[in-house]
Structure 1
Amino acid sequence: MTPGTITDVTVHSGGRWLPGMDVHIADGRVTALVPHGELPYDEVVLDAGGGHLTPGLVNTHTHLFQAGLRGIGEGLGLLAWLSAVGEEAALLTPERAYATAAAAAAEALRSGTTTLVEHMWPHPSPEVHDAVLRALKDSGVRAVLCRGVADRADRSRKWGFDPRLMQPLKEALAHTDELIAQARDSRVDVGVAVPNPRCLTPEGMGAVRAYAEERGLPVSLHLLETTTDDAMCRDRTGVGAVEYLERAGFLWERLLAVHCVELDAEGRSTLARHGVGVSYNPLSNMRLGSGIAPVPEMLEAGLSVGLGVDGAASNDTQDILEALRIGAYLQRAAHRKADLFGFPEMFAMAAGGANRVLGIEENPDGGVRVGMRADLVLHRFDRDYACLPVRDPGATLLTCAGSRTVAAVLVGGEVLVRDGEHVRLPSRELAEGLAHSSPCGD
């Protein structure tokens, strides 16, 4: 990629806002961060005067196909909601999978997500998974595509997974190898996704962990989103969900536990001891009435916590800046502490809180630094008078910014979003794809 420069911008770096800086980019990475005009440059990537530059954010959990299911199951609790979504998942075609994944990835980019973790539901059609990978490549977003697997069937989903969506575990893992080969030399990495602890037998857990460890892959697992995991595990095995996983050897440093709303002190200690990471999904947990994840207690226990948006069927947007704000406010309300999770803490969580577990380049302070991948977001707060005046850029980002203030998004130094529009995927095409991806559009 041709070297270039983002000029005359205020940069968030090292915990401070540095005004009047030039950010030099080459080979997809930041090569210099210097006062404006200090180093010569030929190619201007962005003339950013008056803008504020941050690293891109990492959405640690989503279901891209749910971009075609907005508003489904409104007012239903988790199990009833899952049944409604499952009926739609059984109808998923490669064409729908591509259209929804492309639209969701473009929407995520528009709010400043530069890396997303796609937790695919198990599906017997390899072509569905292939279509999602193709959409991610076309969008240009950086991604971890976690391919869904399960080996215990139960149509009710109380102790197992919908058999209509399953295929033999050996076949699913063999196809994951094919995805790895297809993703080579792209911005997409591959992992494995497990619906919940109830969907794999102990033998299946052993096979999935061995497979993932042999290939250095992360595994994403829904865990304790509600009390169901614990109740079902105790009923069937005599122990809670975390102990069930531990006995099966399914807790290790490449496992990302998603939600963890009902994770108690003993469970937090156990996950931390094994190096497990957590994805915090505040808006989805609110929408489904699941509860509030004990994030301060997780961090105190030593767990790595990243921010998740979840799928559009339980959040209805892919706006990570909305999740950033509400994620902070929800914890403040629950703990009655107005100073809990300010901009530095929330932004560090969103920019890299679970990156180690996922195998993504780490960014411990959520700042721009020399040597990092040029996954960057340019905000122009004056695009929306409701963000003015800017007394503190961090406070503005946390409390009132959104996709409307995102002027540009770069991944690997490539501008993918400019003035709110994806440069590769026109809005009209995305809208048409979503219209035709819904049952009423068939």
Structure 2
Amino acid sequence: MTEPDLGRPSLGVSAPGGGRPAAITDVTVWTGTGWRERCDVVLADGVVTDLRDHRPGAAWAGEALDGSGGHLVPGFTNTHTHLQQSLCRGVGEGQPLLAWLLTVGEGMKAVTPRRAYVAAVAAALEGLLSGTTTLVEHAWPHRDDAVGRAVQEALDLVGVRAVLGIGVADRPDPTRRWGFEPSLMKPLDEVFAGVDELGRRTAGGRLTPALAVPNPRSLTPDGMKRVRAFAEERGLTAMIHLAETGTDDAMCREHAGVGAVELLAQSDFLWDRLLAVHCVEVDDAMIAALAAHDVAVAWNPVSNMRLGSGVAPVEKMLAAGVRVGIGVDGAASNDRQDMLETLRAGAYVQRATDRRADMFGHAEMLALACDGAAATLGQRVGAAAPGGVGVGRPADLTLVRFGRDFACLPVTDPGASLLTTGTPRIVDTVLVDGEVVVADGRSTRVDVEALTRELAALPPG
């Protein structure tokens, strides 16, 4: 575990020790197609190696975690967030997207490594406590490398798996309508060097570097070509906010004469390692282009509702063959990093839009939340059906106990209960890479009382 640099608060517990169980025993497992009761899940080297019928008294190579009475699902992948916005909760409430962006942008200009560290610990831990074992961080461009290093140290402390997107832009514009805030931009070569250094620093760990583009307006066509070439040479994911509202399309037509997706296509910036974030304002032609280039989408239902951006046409995207994952987005536009809340809200808003109650049930939502964007993020999923626990899947797992929250009881159907009533209170144990990082609903690595004191003492901004 990386210790924070001097000047950053010490937020780790004095003696971390969640352990690495050899098995989770006598647990009910979601396999992707159904619930398997009284199952022993065997773990080794951070991977699920076997699912067996429970054998009382079986000997294990190490300690076993008692899963009796619990339900085991894969950990969720939050395909989009902005960790530093955990210090911006409620900022810009009631403002439309562009005004909100400028308001939040002022806070981002004032960020320091210390604030970035505390914010990232808070946001990553909040997600972990709702069953998120992998998060995709879309960092804003920033001139100070120490800010990125602080975020990395925070993620190392919490123990979550992460795809850390380093912000990149090369078209300056302080209005952020046709470009990006110039004071935060660095030359592309410096950004690329920083990504390479991050990759060397984190090799073999739980963090994978990536490139994060604010939107199609913030990169020039030449910048797009260079970013894609760099990402492809290293097998990295790139991510970009796209069509969150009609602004992207309107600005691209005004300045480039074509819509946003067409501009990306002309610049050869649509490919299978691109994660397009939001995609609310996309028509059939735009969806077809994303599908044709195997681009994945990060769907952020709560954020889109909070900012009044609209409802993404997820059913159309899936029908066209677009891979869709689920994101929470940053706390300035969602307020919480709660994936269980996001699953419920996402299912409900799609049902309300289509006036159908028989869509986006728990099996489909778990598949999207666990594996929807896996290929684009370079994730392994093992042999199970999408969203299910199976042999070969990394031991990134969440054990829930519905009895931890009386409002989930009685349980008629575990999947229905998870989707319709689940809260972080039911999250009992979370494993990442086979390590128990949450036990009895509490972090095994972070001193939550110290974190709470630090957050309370920070000035707003």
TM-score by length of 2: 0.93
Name the counterpart of 1:72: 91
TM-superposed CA distance for 1:3, in Å, is 5.4
Is the contact made by 2:21 and 2:65 (CA closer than 8 Å) also made in structure 1?
no
Is the contact made by 2:81 and 2:135 (CA closer than 8 Å) also made in structure 1?
yes
Tell me which moved more, 342-351 or 15-24. Answer: 15-24
Change in Cα spacing, 1:67 to 1:242, as seen in structure 2 (3 Å) is: same
Name the counterpart of 1:285: 304
Name the counterpart of 2:78: 59
Could you list the per-position Cα deviations for residues 121-143 of structure 1 after superposition, in whole angstroms to 9, with x for gaps in the alignment? 00011110111111111111011
1:112 aligns with 2:112: no
Of 438, 444, 448, 1:423 maps to 444
**Share of identical aligned residues, percent?**
57
Tell me which moved more, 164-173 or 226-235. Answer: 164-173
Tell me which moved more, 186-195 or 46-55. Answer: 46-55
Could you list the per-position Cα deviations for residues 250-303 of structure 1 after superposition, in whole angstroms to 9, with x for gaps in the alignment? 111100000000011000000110110000000000000000000000001110
Is the contact made by 2:47 and 2:434 (CA closer than 8 Å) also made in structure 1?
yes
Is the contact made by 1:69 and 1:438 (CA closer than 8 Å) also made in structure 2?
no
TM-superposed CA distance for 1:173, in Å, is 1.3
Aligned length: 440
TM-superposed CA distance for 1:120, in Å, is 0.3
Tell me which moved more, 357-366 or 313-322. Answer: 357-366
Name the counterpart of 1:399: 420
1:20 aligns with 2:38: yes
One-letter code of the match for 1:298?
Answer: M
**Structure 2 regions of 5+ residues with no counterpart?**
1-18
Is the contact made by 1:2 and 1:27 (CA closer than 8 Å) also made in structure 2?
no
Is the contact made by 2:28 and 2:70 (CA closer than 8 Å) also made in structure 1?
yes
Could you list the per-position Cα deviations for residues 354-391 of structure 1 after superposition, in whole angstroms to 9, with x for gaps in the alignment? 11011111365211112211111010001111111111
Q: How does 1:240-255 map to 2 (within 5 A)?
A: 240-255=259-274
1:381 aligns with 2:399: no
Name the counterpart of 2:11: none
Could you list the per-position Cα deviations for residues 291-330 of structure 1 after superposition, in whole angstroms to 9, with x for gaps in the alignment? 0000000001110000000000000000001100100000
TM-superposed CA distance for 1:169, in Å, is 1.5
Of 207, 210, 217, 1:191 maps to 210
Name the counterpart of 1:207: 226
TM-superposed CA distance for 1:46, in Å, is 2.0
Separation of aligned partners in 2, 1:270 and 1:83: 30
Name the counterpart of 1:34: 52
Name the counterpart of 1:125: 144
Report the secondary structure of 1:198's partner residue: coil
Tell me which moved more, 18-27 or 72-81. Answer: 18-27
Separation of aligned partners in 2, 1:57 and 1:290: 24
Name the counterpart of 1:350: 369
Name the counterpart of 1:296: 315
TM-superposed CA distance for 1:437, in Å, is 4.1
Separation of aligned partners in 2, 1:14 and 1:251: 30
Separation of aligned partners in 1, 2:392 and 2:59: 19
One-letter code of the match for 1:9?
Answer: V
Root-mean-square deviation over aligned CA pairs: 1.3
Separation of aligned partners in 1, 2:161 and 2:441: 18
Report the secondary structure of 1:161's partner residue: coil
Is the contact made by 1:95 and 1:437 (CA closer than 8 Å) also made in structure 2?
no
One-letter code of the match for 2:53?
Answer: P
Separation of aligned partners in 2, 1:192 and 1:2: 32
1:334 aligns with 2:353: yes
Separation of aligned partners in 2, 1:272 and 1:83: 32
One-letter code of the match for 1:339?
Answer: D
Separation of aligned partners in 1, 2:295 and 2:459: 36
TM-superposed CA distance for 1:181, in Å, is 1.0
Is the contact made by 1:25 and 1:374 (CA closer than 8 Å) also made in structure 2?
yes
Separation of aligned partners in 2, 1:12 and 1:96: 39
Separation of aligned partners in 1, 2:457 and 2:294: 43
Could you list the per-position Cα deviations for residues 313-351 of structure 1 after superposition, in whole angstroms to 9, with x for gaps in the alignment? 000000001100100000000000011111111110001
Of 157, 182, 204, 1:163 maps to 182
Separation of aligned partners in 1, 2:454 and 2:136: 22
Could you list the per-position Cα deviations for residues 161-191 of structure 1 after superposition, in whole angstroms to 9, with x for gaps in the alignment? 0111111111111111111111112100010
Is the contact made by 2:94 and 2:307 (CA closer than 8 Å) also made in structure 1?
yes
TM-superposed CA distance for 1:435, in Å, is 2.8
Of 261, 285, 290, 2:280 maps to 261
Tell me which moved more, 371-380 or 284-293. Answer: 371-380
1:223 aligns with 2:208: no
TM-superposed CA distance for 1:409, in Å, is 0.4
Separation of aligned partners in 1, 2:438 and 2:72: 14
Separation of aligned partners in 1, 2:143 and 2:411: 51
Report the secondary structure of 1:346's partner residue: helix
Is the contact made by 2:253 and 2:260 (CA closer than 8 Å) also made in structure 1?
yes
**Structure 1 regions of 5+ residues with no counterpart?**
none
TM-superposed CA distance for 1:35, in Å, is 1.4
